[in-house]
């Protein structure tokens, strides 16, 4: 009888983004590139759109469409921001943010500008160790597509413990109307740390255009420096506002510790929603429309309604709260469905000036109204809670 001897399988030595496999079959997790919670940005895959899936004309700074992506804008054209299913093929993304120029501005005034950005709380980047000799490198990666080829600027703007500092890098869209992945790596800032709190401490910008005030100085692309407007973006920066034919699409935003970009961290949508709800929550938008998911309030006086409202997650800070009518989202209105005598009614009502009482990070028990209040009456309402950076 012959004997067959089994030979131990020898795993070839190889390295992935997160794990190194050794020839003896063992493996080592690369601590610099964790497999989960590596992305310092939220909703980088453009999954959650509570405010609007198509908003125009956008003419001011603020949050207009996709959650956690803000606009910084001063007099540089007008824009449409919309959810798009045009995404990089085979990369796993479902949506992108599409930005269309609606009103052109081919010759920006000196102080005109537009960028899109995400803001990060200081307590979420303490492990980056800025302000110490162990300050870590950061790598930002994203997918972009535009008919407007040329140089764009990715800027990192930090609100430090004592001063505002920044560093920026050029990225180039080489081929028109083609998805391209862009990656930039920045050094750690050993000079200035960030406060350990829930305030805005680090912003990641993609600049879409600006006047001379933002690109007339020395471009800081190698070291962190004190922020001044004159050196914030590259002198080669294109102006996406120079034609109404221009559009810009982006998805797959990721910011991670380390000197190389790893594969995008795809999270379950429910987890992304929970992260977004810390900053903004709209019961009408998240429920779909009109009455589904509406809240109930009971009139306890002619000017006060008890609601006992609890937010789905603890918010970043005490939020501003807006009461909205279910039927059309009108601010400061609600729907009366129960009269003071117990009979049902179907009347929308104007509540006048609405003030939420005793609001906290977890909810609010009451709100007061200046008109339309009924002791014993019932209301259906939606609300928006806003605690954005």
CATH code of the domain covering residue 181: 2.60.120.260
For residues 260 and 304, state if they share a domain: no
For residues 289 and 221, state if they share a domain: no
Domain of residue 179 covers: 54-277
pLDDT at 32 over 60: no
Give the three-class secondary structure for 284. Answer: helix
User: Does a structural domain hold residue 71?
Assistant: yes
pLDDT at 1 over 80: no
Rounded to an integer, the average pLDDT of 173-195 is: 98
Look at residue 222 in the predicted model and tell me its pLDDT: 95
* C-alpha distances out from residue 54 to 39, 47, 105, 283, 324, Å: 26, 14, 22, 18, 20
Look at residue 4 in the predicted model and tell me its pLDDT: 42
Look at residue 214 in the predicted model and tell me its pLDDT: 97
User: Whole-number mean pLDDT of the chain?
Assistant: 91
User: Does a structural domain hold residue 2?
Assistant: no
Rounded to an integer, the average pLDDT of 333-345 is: 72
For residues 250 and 333, state if they share a domain: no
pLDDT at 345 over 90: no
Number of structural domains in the chain: 2
Rounded to an integer, the average pLDDT of 321-341 is: 87
User: Does a structural domain hold residue 16?
Assistant: no
Q: Which of 20-34, 81-95, 192-206, 256-270 has the lowest mean pLDDT?
A: 20-34
CB under 8 Å, gap of 24 or more: what pairs does 338-347 form?
338/377, 338/378, 339/374, 339/377, 340/299, 340/374, 340/375, 340/376, 340/377, 341/376, 342/376
Query: What are 61-78's pLDDT values in tens digits?
Result: 999 999 999 999 999 999
Rounded to an integer, the average pLDDT of 357-383 is: 94
Look at residue 312 in the predicted model and tell me its pLDDT: 97
User: Does a structural domain hold residue 7?
Assistant: no
Backbone angles phi, psi at 215, to 5 degrees: -140, 25
For residues 221 and 292, state if they share a domain: no
Instruction: Return the CA Rg of the chain.
Output: 25
pLDDT at 202 over 60: yes
Query: What are 218-227's pLDDT values in tens digits?
Result: 999 999 999 9
For residues 152 and 197, state if they share a domain: yes
User: Does a structural domain hold residue 31?
Assistant: no
pLDDT at 26 over 60: no
CB 333 within 8 A of CB 348: yes
Sheet containing strand 150-159, edge to edge, reads 70-74, 113-121, 200-210, 150-159, 164-173, 225-226
For residues 236 and 105, state if they share a domain: yes
Look at residue 376 in the predicted model and tell me its pLDDT: 85
pLDDT at 342 over 70: no
What percent of the chain clears pLDDT 70, i.e. is strictly above it? 89
* C-alpha distances out from residue 142 to 38, 87, 206, 264, Å: 15, 12, 10, 9
pLDDT at 229 over 70: yes
Of 221, 251, 277, the residue that ends a domain is 277
Tell which wins on pLDDT, 117 or 344: 117
CB 71 within 8 A of CB 64: yes
pLDDT at 2 over 50: no
For residues 122 and 173, state if they share a domain: yes
Beta 355-357 vs 363-368: how paired, if at all? Answer: antiparallel
* C-alpha distances out from residue 177 to 30, 53, 83, 136, 213, Å: 36, 22, 17, 35, 30
Query: What are 113-155's pLDDT values in tens digits?
Result: 999 999 999 999 999 999 999 999 999 999 999 999 999 999 9
User: Does a structural domain hold residue 38?
Assistant: no
Look at residue 5 in the predicted model and tell me its pLDDT: 42
Look at residue 19 in the predicted model and tell me its pLDDT: 53
User: Does a structural domain hold residue 240?
Assistant: yes
What percent of the chain clears pLDDT 90, i.e. is strictly above it? 84
- For residues 166 and 202, give the distance between their C-alpha atoms in angstroms, rounded to a whole number: 9
- For residues 114 and 78, give the distance between their C-alpha atoms in angstroms, rounded to a whole number: 10
- For residues 114 and 77, give the distance between their C-alpha atoms in angstroms, rounded to a whole number: 9
CB 69 within 8 A of CB 41: no
Look at residue 349 in the predicted model and tell me its pLDDT: 87
User: pLDDT band for position 276 (50/70/90)?
Assistant: very high
Predicted TM-score of the model (pTM): 0.90
pLDDT at 31 over 90: no
User: pLDDT band for position 289 (50/70/90)?
Assistant: confident
Look at residue 343 in the predicted model and tell me its pLDDT: 61
């Amino acid at each position: 009888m012959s004997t067959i001897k089994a030979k131990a399988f020898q795993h070839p030595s190889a390295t992935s983004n997160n794990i190194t496999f050794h020839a003896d079959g063992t493996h080592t997790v690369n601590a610099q590139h964790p497999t989960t919670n590596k992305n310092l940005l939220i909703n980088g895959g453009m999954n959650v759109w509570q405010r609007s899936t198509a908003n125009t004309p956008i003419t001011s700074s603020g949050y207009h469409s996709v959650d956690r992506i803000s606009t910084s804008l001063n007099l540089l054209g007008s824009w449409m921001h919309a959810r798009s299913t045009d995404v990089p093929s085979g990369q796993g993304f479902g949506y992108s943010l599409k930005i269309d120029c609606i009103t052109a501005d081919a010759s920006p005034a000196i102080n005109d500008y537009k960028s899109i950005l995400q803001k990060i709380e200081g307590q979420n980047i303490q492990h980056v160790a800025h302000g110490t000799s162990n300050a870590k490198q950061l790598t930002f990666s994203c997918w972009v597509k535009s008919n407007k080829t040329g140089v764009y600027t990715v800027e990192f703007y930090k609100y430090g413990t004592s001063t505002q500092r920044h560093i920026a890098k050029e990225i180039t869209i080489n081929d028109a109307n083609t998805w391209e992945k862009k990656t930039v790596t920045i050094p750690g800032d050993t000079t200035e740390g960030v406060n350990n709190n829930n305030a805005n401490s680090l912003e990641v910008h993609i600049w879409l255009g600006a006047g001379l005030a933002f690109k007339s100085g020395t471009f800081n692309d190698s070291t962190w420096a004190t922020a001044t407007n004159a050196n914030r973006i590259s002198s080669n920066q294109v102006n996406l506002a120079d034609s109404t034919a221009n559009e810009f699409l982006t998805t797959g935003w990721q910011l991670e510790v380390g000197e190389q970009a790893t594969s995008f961290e795809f999270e379950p949508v429910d987890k992304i929603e929970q992260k977004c709800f810390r900053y903004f929550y709209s019961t009408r938008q998240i429920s779909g429309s009109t009455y589904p998911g509406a809240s109930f309030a009971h009139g306890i006086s002619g000017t006060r309604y008890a609601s006992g409202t609890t937010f789905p997650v603890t918010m970043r800070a005490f939020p501003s709260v807006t009461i909205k009518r279910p039927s059309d989202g009108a601010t400061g209105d609600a729907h009366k469905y129960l009269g003071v005598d117990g009979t049902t009614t179907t009347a929308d009502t104007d509540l006048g000036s609405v003030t939420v009482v005793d609001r906290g990070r977890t909810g609010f028990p009451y709100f007061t109204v200046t008109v339309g209040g009924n002791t014993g009456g019932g209301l259906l309402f939606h609300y928006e809670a806003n605690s954005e950076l």
